[in-house]
Structure 1
Amino acid sequence: MRAPRDILRTMFDAAVARAQPDRVIPGALPEPPSGRTVVIGAGKASAAMAAALERVWQAPLSGLVVTAYGHAVPCARIEIVEAAHPVPDAAGEAAARRMLEMVQGLGAEDLAIALISGGGSALMPLPRPGITLADKQAVNRALLASGATIAEMNCLRRHLSAVKGGRLGAACHPARLVTLMISDVPGDDPAAIASGPTVPDPTTLADARAIVARYRLDLPPGVAAVLSDPASETIKPGDPRLARAEARLIATPRTSLEAAAELARAEGLTPVILGDALEGEARDLARWMAAEALKAERGSVLISGGETTVTLPAGAPGRGGRNVDFLMALAQALNGAPGIHALSADTDGVDGAEPVAGAVIGPDTLERAAAAGYPVGQALARFDGHGFFARLGDQLVTGPTLTNVNDFRAVLVL
């Protein structure tokens, strides 16, 4: 058998490969229309999705998509714009405004194709009238530190946006609209992927206000006013402007986990998929998975996906992301148990705000950390996952993967 770390890395690579746009775009495209085809989109995979579309689309084509800095892929007919993630910037705001203008005036004979993937919410930060980009940046920072789930974050974002919550889709009317989605959210709800710019939103302003109250978010005054304005309600199911719109899920966390499981079987291991939508605090999930690993049969590998949260205490600087925080807590809970190795990483190649996908741990992690002068308990108290694994040389650095199907976790029991 190969080295445990090699097996885990190959499983991660298989999960990412299953969700690559070149693999999933060609078979999902609609027939060309008699009129124009305009492409719009946002997300960490959107540029790669646009390039895959261009390679197989034989009819005339134009459009614009926005992706994160470092995730651009050259295209000939579709303009690619880069913007900031996870805290939005002016480049994303301008790109969202241009997309909205681009689809206005489409006719019934035209086709709009929306390429949507994870990260798209922060990359299209066009605010509702009454709030500014600075207000939206403040909201994003508050949400990222609050411990709110991705579904809660996106509910609030939809109601503060001029394009999310179905508004961009409604602007495409009366053209036919086909949205191709790579899901990075637990449950694969189209309204939650990039905050659903082209699909109806079942949540309400009351839901958004409840989230603000639940997490005691300190938000700019203009945000509270927008959340109290009935005109800020999003596009709802049954709206006639979305009658010719459809959304197609072309890659999901589940299919990527299944790809990793196939590779595990080829290695002679027994894969156990614990779920593709696990949520909650990263450290709580780590303790639960440690308990599962300690009672698992040798030769098995526990695989899971989803998106956990990390709630930062007031004043905690934090340097890392939910995957490295999970792994530090997992190593602490396993306490050097022999034969157990693990990898946790974000499939887009960025865990938190640094170009580090995640990390790996093994039975010697705690001992090596102590010898390096940085015990895991100290790193956990500082929320310093990236610093901890950098010191050990155990970071997983992939660069932009050009897709995004949420987090990938694998615990190998030998």
Structure 2
Amino acid sequence: MSLKDDIEFLYWEGVRAATPEYLSHSFWKEHPHLCDLFSNPKKKNYVFALGKAAHSMVLSFLDFFPVDAGFVLTKYNHLPDEVRSKGQMGVLKCREAAHPIPDYNSEKYSREVLSELMDLGEDHQLIVLLSGGGSSLFEIPESGLHLENLIQLNQALLKEGLPIQEINRRRKEFSAVKAGKLLGKLNPLVKVYTFVISDVLGDDPNVIASAPTYPGSEYYLMGNLSNSLSAIQKKAMDLGYEVKTISDSWDKSSEDTAKRAFMELIQANSNPNKQVILFGGELVCPVFGDGLGGRNQEAALRMAILSSSLKIDREWLFLSCGTDGTDGPTDAAGGIIGPDSFDLMIKRGWDPRAELMRSNSYPILKDSNALLFTGATGTNVNDIIILLLAERNS
């Protein structure tokens, strides 16, 4: 395989290790008491799947347990076409809304599912399947506020490039369903179980999807970024790479990420062997211009600029991608650049530094064939950053 094949293969290995299908077998095996509860014929299982991984999480749950009714609320283009057109999948209602900023459908469908949840009685048990992206998808304004107030708030918070912990803390103040407030609207006799695939560093249940059912429900972590990085590391070693893992909780800016990767590239070049430098987390990226891009694409563009004057006698590639398949408000998972990327951008008439100042990484990377398009991956555990160095020819 080529170096490009290897880096994409390793990214997909990280994604695979965070999918509900992969995680579920070991998780349910480790929790037999839950299996007994959800197989109890005297109780009705109502499933509320929320987030970017909602569809794949509910499919995985259906592989193990019966479901009497439910609701899937996910991001636009995250449902199969047939399910989207019908709005239904068996006993499950299926809806899509906006991310990362709520829209009319966010509130409309949130009120629709809330109405169903409020009708649940003591013969029901509510299973909440939660993944990243739920903060904007599930949203009802607090009394006295309007959706437009929340849209403006989200736009301002995201433009600042704040950490998700701070963004979600502010979101909770204006929401009628976040920070455990959803539970206060339900029949207290309904037992609630929450199962999470975490897209938050440290897996803080107060932060993931802005915690609609925390505190108050039984809460279980099914998977996170560490699963992905461990799988990548193992597969890279199988392929003959030496592996250096920097961090599984990287929370720096796109700028700092590119600087660190560039430093690692220089240091790694003294070693002639095949190498993987790996880290993951949640990049932050303030928006300064009117361009189109995302935090991972900006990291890739910055790496292309930093490495433009570096000449080393071996192949290398740098990947920065979101595990959900979408980076910012774009249809790309992120970017992959190498030693020739900057020159290609110039050759095609771009000024990389000018586009960087406009926060306009998407068009320049797309025109340079430096974007990775995956579509919705069915999971969401933050960002994966991989630096690959080929073996130096003697």
Question: What TM-score do the two structures reach when normalised by structure 2?
Answer: 0.89
Corresponding position: 1:400 with 2:372: no
Partner of 1:53: 61
- What secondary structure does 1:25 align onto? helix
Partner of 1:214: none
Q: How far apart in 2 are the matches of 1:57 and 1:410? A: 37
Return the letter of the residue paired with 1:45: A
Q: How far apart in 2 are the matches of 1:10 and 1:375? A: 31
Partner of 1:320: 293
Return the letter of the residue paired with 1:162: A
Partner of 1:5: 4
Asked whether the equivalents of residues 85 and 123 of structure 1 are also in contact (C-alpha less than 8 Å), the reply is yes
Corresponding position: 1:64 with 2:71: yes
Q: Which of 150, 153, 166 is equivalent to 2:167?
A: 153
- What secondary structure does 1:303 align onto? strand
- What secondary structure does 2:46 align onto? strand
- What secondary structure does 1:56 align onto? coil
Asked whether the equivalents of residues 47 and 67 of structure 1 are also in contact (C-alpha less than 8 Å), the reply is yes
Partner of 1:43: 51
Return the letter of the residue paired with 2:116: M
Deviation at 1:259, TM superposition (A): 1.1
Return the letter of the residue paired with 1:299: K
Q: How far apart in 2 are the matches of 1:82 and 1:327? A: 30
Partner of 2:213: 198
Q: Which of 363, 381, 385 is equivalent to 1:387?
A: 363
Return the letter of the residue paired with 2:338: G
Deviation readout 1:284-323 (Å, 9 max, x if unpaired): 221122112211234221111111111123xx10210000
Deviation readout 1:231-256 (Å, 9 max, x if unpaired): xxxxxxxxxxx2xx211111101101
User: Which segment is superposed worse, 399-408 or 167-176?
Assistant: 167-176
Q: Per the alignment, do residues 25 and 163 of structure 1 end up closer, same or farther by CA in structure 2, a change over 3 Å counting?
A: farther
Q: How far apart in 2 are the matches of 1:337 and 1:163? A: 54
Q: How far apart in 2 are the matches of 1:170 and 1:273? A: 43
Deviation at 1:108, TM superposition (A): 4.5
Q: Which of 349, 352, 357 is equivalent to 2:333?
A: 357
Asked whether the equivalents of residues 107 and 140 of structure 2 are also in contact (C-alpha less than 8 Å), the reply is yes
* 1:218-229 matched pairs, under 5 angstroms: none
Q: How far apart in 1 are the matches of 2:207 and 2:242? A: 33
Q: How far apart in 2 are the matches of 1:105 and 1:361? A: 52
Aligned residues: percent identity?
Answer: 32
Deviation at 1:109, TM superposition (A): 4.6
Return the letter of the residue paired with 1:126: I
Deviation at 1:107, TM superposition (A): 4.2
Deviation at 1:346, TM superposition (A): 0.9
Asked whether the equivalents of residues 68 and 85 of structure 1 are also in contact (C-alpha less than 8 Å), the reply is yes
Deviation readout 1:68-105 (Å, 9 max, x if unpaired): 11111443122111111112112111222233222225
Return the letter of the residue paired with 1:366: F
Q: Which of 173, 177, 181 is equivalent to 2:192?
A: 177
- What secondary structure does 1:317 align onto? coil
User: Which segment is superposed worse, 334-343 or 356-365?
Assistant: 334-343
Return the letter of the residue paired with 2:9: T
Runs of 5+ consecutive residues of structure 2 not aligned to the other structure: 29-33, 84-88
Partner of 1:345: 321
Asked whether the equivalents of residues 334 and 371 of structure 2 are also in contact (C-alpha less than 8 Å), the reply is yes
Asked whether the equivalents of residues 54 and 77 of structure 1 are also in contact (C-alpha less than 8 Å), the reply is no
Return the letter of the residue paired with 2:175: S
Return the letter of the residue paired with 1:363: P
Aligned-residue RMSD, C-alpha = 1.7
- What secondary structure does 1:49 align onto? helix
Deviation at 1:4, TM superposition (A): 1.2
Q: How far apart in 2 are the matches of 1:255 and 1:269? A: 19
- What secondary structure does 1:135 align onto? helix
Runs of 5+ consecutive residues of structure 1 not aligned to the other structure: 201-241
Deviation readout 1:207-261 (Å, 9 max, x if unpaired): xxxxxxxxxxxxxxxxxxxxxxxxxxxxxxxxxxx2xx21111110110111111
Q: How far apart in 1 are the matches of 2:154 and 2:24? A: 30
Deviation at 1:51, TM superposition (A): 1.8
- What secondary structure does 2:326 align onto? coil
Asked whether the equivalents of residues 366 and 375 of structure 1 are also in contact (C-alpha less than 8 Å), the reply is no
Asked whether the equivalents of residues 50 and 78 of structure 1 are also in contact (C-alpha less than 8 Å), the reply is no
Asked whether the equivalents of residues 170 and 198 of structure 1 are also in contact (C-alpha less than 8 Å), the reply is no
Asked whether the equivalents of residues 36 and 61 of structure 1 are also in contact (C-alpha less than 8 Å), the reply is yes
Partner of 2:118: 104
Partner of 2:154: 140
Partner of 1:21: 20
Q: How far apart in 1 are the matches of 2:185 and 2:130? A: 16
Deviation at 1:110, TM superposition (A): 2.8
